[in-house]
Structure 1
Amino acid sequence: MKRDGAKVTDGDSAKKAKSDEISATLGEILEINDMPTMSQGKWKNKTRCLIFGSRGLDYRTRHFMQDLRNIMPHTKADVKLEKKNDRAIIKEIAEMKNCSKVLYFEGRKKKDLYITMADIDEGPTIRFNVEGLNTMGELKFSGNCLKGSRPLLVFDEHFDEEPHYALIKEMFTQIFGTPRYHPKSQPFVDHVLNFSILDDRIWIRNYQIILEGTNKVKDEKFEPETVEIGPRLVLNLQRIQEGPFSGPAIYLNPDYVSPNERRRAQGYGQNGKSYMNKIIEREAKEEHKNNLPEVPKHVTDEIFVNN
């Protein structure tokens, strides 16, 4: 027990300084833990998208579906659907998976691919013919993005010129846009999904956002650049239905030509070309025959004329 007025030793001073240092460190840790983070927001938009396909899809389509699931954290998968089943069953499958949106891939004749996207609650249903498809593995671009990051959706100005394109734009926004504060999403944006219209086709591209500058966070004069990541997709609109996989058609593309009709026209063109070649060969043969020199008749040619 220390007497009043006793001097404090050096050991007591060291213990007090160490205690103050620990208290300051704990205070800094508590202050850091109390800082607000992006993950503490409330997840309000419960939109989920079901991505699956029918039987008979090739490996490129299956890899493309997996690429979409990698860049869309709010998606779910399901087993392949039999082609003989009614499409109305797709709505029941989506409801069982708690999904409000559907991307359904359907293969025909092992060469044609169709994508149907629909809103399960009230519709509509939009059907596309896929005219171009490339996976990330095929392209091998240098761009890259973090899995689960939210995309920045960029639309061409032509989407606002026609009513059916405006409807497609809204569907793309709800399907490809990752909901804010989604548990599987990252709290930042590092890639861009570009939707453009050219030659009455919808072209979809995925780009990485690269920030150039000394200070990528505080520098206000940085110039962002984009590097393509993949995958790629080219869609040709076929029709739009009012309800989810049912209902009357509210829009039919007047310029749409089915793959069967294109192949048939190409076959007719080849047949017509071969027919014209035969006519040209026949005319050339007759012309060659007419241009042959006349051979004088032999005496024996008239022996059996009267008989």
Structure 2
Amino acid sequence: MAKKRKHIELQNSEPMKKDESNPQRTKRTLLGWKDKAKVKESDSPVFRNKEKVLVTCSRRINYRYRHLMLNVVSLLPHCKKDNKVESKEGKGATLNELVELKNCSSCLFFECRKQKDLYLWMAKSPNGPSVKFIVNAVHTMEELKLTGNHLNGSRPILTFSTNFDEDPQWKLLKEIITQIFGTPKDHRKVKPYPDHVFVFSIIDDHIWFRNYQISVPHNETDKVDRGGLDKMTLVEVGPRFCLNPIKIFGGSFGGPILYENPFYVSPNQIRALEKKQKAGKYAKKIKAKTRRKMHELSNPLEPNEFTDMWKE
């Protein structure tokens, strides 16, 4: 049988002293072991992008515009989608509260009116500024069926035309678009590499949006070297839309007007002019008809033998 070990009594009842030469153990956190020395070194003012965008729409939105909003949501992995908001005069306070509850810093609000006109609000919450656009030439991914295809959640490269550096309103719009559509580098839902391009270009005072995939050949014999941009090609993915700026406000969804587009004409005025033109065509037809009747009364036909025969 195995022998039992004898209990050795401690000769000295004094507690053991800690060895001061050993380094002190670091604290454990949720992200790992926390080293005080490393924390002090990393206190340097380094910018970290914590941008989060709230994407929502108004009630009674058209299905086509709702699909456009879903396409934009799929392109922005750092966004948060929320329920529909009633499009009223007091929507600014409601949206600012939703942005604060969702812990976001920006907002994209798709507002549909009369189930025909689509307006897009880009706002920085809670202090502003904010921009109101009218969206034209909408083409969703489902409509286009283009051949381009990029990874879901990858970082985009933002490119702007040279017109954005000419006037101050375009410089402000470029900064707002960069902050909203620029995906943070260390976001948890983002791939660490870019494989598509967002193109913003100004043509006729309108901002045109295009999304292209960066296509690279993958054959072993035709590998692309570093800096070999001549072999890379761009394939359009979608969606497509055009933004016509209406007003730029100093606050979030309101405030002092910083810029107003002098060439903007509302869709209601365009429809009213079309109705007047149609009414003018109808009035011309009625006038021509009355003119023919007056001409017949003033110039009666002379009696004829054949007409008298038919009357008998």
Q: Which moved more, 1:60-69 or 1:225-234?
A: 60-69
Can you give the 5+ residue segments of structure 1 that lack an aligned partner in the other structure?
Answer: 1-41, 297-307
Match of 1:77, as an amino acid? K
Q: Deviations over 1:116-175 (max 9, x none)?
A: 010114311100111222211111100010011111111122222221111111111111
In the alignment, is residue 233 of structure 1 matched against residue 219 of structure 2?
no
Kindly state the Cα deviation for residue 293 of structure 1 after the two structures are TM-superposed. 4.1
What is residue 214 of structure 2 aligned with on the other side?
209
Equivalence map 1:15-164=2 (5 Å)? 44-84=48-88, 85-164=90-169
Question: How far does the alpha carbon of each residue in 1:237-296 deviate from its partner, in whole angstroms, 9 at most, with x for none?
Answer: 111110111211111111111111111111111111211222233334444565654338
AA partner of residue 207 (structure 1):
Y
The 3-state SS of whatever aligns with 1:249 is strand
Partner of residue 24, structure 2: none
User: Secondary structure of the residue that 2:61 maps to in structure 1?
Assistant: coil
Matched to 1:223, the amino acid is: K
Deviation by residue 1:189-241 (Cα, 9 ceiling, x = unmatched): 11111111223221111111113581134473643221110111111111111
CA distance in 2, matches of 1:101, 1:158: 25
Per-residue displacement from partner, 1:41-96 (whole Å, max 9, x unpaired)? x9920001110111111222222222111111110011111234532121111011
CA 282–224 in structure 1, closer or farther in 2 if over 3 Å, else same: farther
Asked if structure 2 preserves the Cα contact closer than 8 Å seen for 1:212 and 1:222, the reply is: no
> Which of 254, 270, 273 is residue 265 of structure 1 equivalent to?
273
C-alpha RMSD over aligned residues: 2.1
- CA distance in structure 1 between the partners assigned to 2:205 and 2:280 by the alignment: 29
CA separation in 1, counterparts of 2:297 and 2:203?
Answer: 54
Contact 1:216 1:222 in 2 (8 A): no
**Structure 1 residues 204-213 or 172-181, which shifts more?**
204-213
Q: Which moved more, 1:137-146 or 1:63-72?
A: 63-72
Identity %: 44
Instruction: Assess if the C-alpha contact under 8 Å between 2:213 and 2:236 holds in 1.
Output: yes
**Partner Cα distance (1:284, 1:199) in 2:** 47
Paired residue total: 255
3-state SS, counterpart of residue 186 of structure 1: coil
Number of the residue aligned with 2:175 = 170
Structure 2 counterpart of 1:45, which letter?
A: N
Q: CA 1:221/1:227 → structure 2, altered by over 3 Å: closer, same or farther?
A: closer
- In 2, the alpha carbon distance for the partners of 1:125 and 1:48 equals 16
Query: TM-score, with normalisation over the residues of structure 2?
Result: 0.76
Contact in 2 for aligned 1:142/1:227 (Cα 8 Å): yes
Q: Which amino acid aligns with 2:106?
A: K
TM-score (norm. length: structure 1): 0.77
For 1:283, the aligned partner's letter is: R
CA contact (8 A) 2:92 2:252 kept: no
The aligned amino acid for 2:258 is: I
Partners of 2:233 and 2:296 lie apart in 1 by: 67
d(CA) in 2 for partners of 1:258, 1:169: 24
Partner SS, residue 266 of structure 1 = helix
Aligned equivalents of 1:110 and 1:75: distance in 2? Answer: 25
* 1:154/1:195 contact within 8 Å kept: yes
Structure 2 distance, partners of 1:220, 1:191, is: 17
Moved more, 58-67 or 208-217: 208-217
8 Å Cα contact 1:67/1:231 also seen in 2: yes
Amino acid at match of 1:245: F
Amino acid paired to 2:163: H
